[in-house]
Structure 1
């Protein structure tokens, strides 16, 4: 067993009747890593998260979690916490009472559990005595995260943790997750928010129809991917267009009436264009992918139509 990895899965297969939800999936997550799980609806993400949480078992393959080989009966490995398909809460109970009820399910006295610490960690101290039934979606997500943190897990498994969060709430949750990872907790999170995954994750696994179509660092994904469209805003659009047209490997995309320029290129050609702009006295005010590298790769690898296509 590899003690350096929080998760090691090989050939994981799970079927529901004739439906193959996971088909020979390999998964590696290092300790202290935030690992993203990406894929279209029906790709197998929820099934895989359920296996990690001990809610189901694989039909075939090997799975080790926190150095423990997972057996053939549903059972959560000690040190794992999280939620899938949204956190389960008691709407008639307050936030604090929900966590106390969870402590009771663990067979623990609520007084010995870090309930107030967990509420403070997710920014819910001010509403700790409000009923969860009146919480917004984002507040329920944060309470679910507090419930997962109650046992101080070594592996945190989260399904769409940013659902319903406003910008401040999202920033707060991001801070919690990065702080946990820096202290050695591994995090696996599924999300349709590519900006969240790019901000948080060092590695991602992309699933499509139950199979892994990519797994590895985001930097490798961007480097291996096809050309991207980039938006350029400069001090001299006409001169920038002329220089772009003269640079090898750059394709200028027509944007009638627009003051900005959109080009399609690989990174080396884009670098060459930036050098030419600077040498030509053209100030570069903005340079960004029209679609993020992760989103572009996701669309290409899962054969999803790009926006506007």
Structure 2
């Protein structure tokens, strides 16, 4: 068993840190809102720290799941940052979806300090975090990924090193690109069925077992048809992720025309007041605008 720190107790981090302590690891948590860290320790045990530096002191592994590039830099760097508290040989595992640029920047700083840094974004949403069934795609040195694997196993069903630093974040971008196109296609299909006056639920039942079937169809079509959009990853966070995808594509010369278009559709959803709706709310946009 290892001594771990977990930084960031949002909808993903809160249950992920809980799985670590349930697996027998010694866990110290940090959250920007201290009251949430207090609730976590009351529920799970462990200890709460007042700064990332304090949380990281003596830890073999420091996990983070925060908001964006700036949030990640803030919990890593500076006098109160985790790097200042980590010992040589400790490994930082970042589960935030951030840019490959900041990942490589922090990987280089960690290496200069004899510390490991693994980019390990996740897929599976809140339900995956709560059930310990996340998919984790990693980038970084092989030895650091191997060392972190037993910790990550506490809340994942699949862990895979993709390549060097930043590769995990690029894999997560691929994930978000695929989701954006799938959800828009499903939304258009359901809207088309409704406009044509046929039973959309019957259509889903028939085509779901064929080539058109997808996780999105199985898990979101019913709530979409019921006009319910409080069941998953928020549009605001999806737009943050798609901005990373589009910026990385610009740097690498990749073409993402569908992703760019769907990003603008999500902008429409935000303007409808749906920034906290889940990503399947693209159907709501179609119902509103045709």
With normalisation by structure 1, the TM-score equals: 0.31
Higher relative contact order (CA 8 A, sep 6+): 1
Richer in strand (by share):
1
With normalisation by structure 2, the TM-score equals: 0.32
Richer in helix (by share):
2
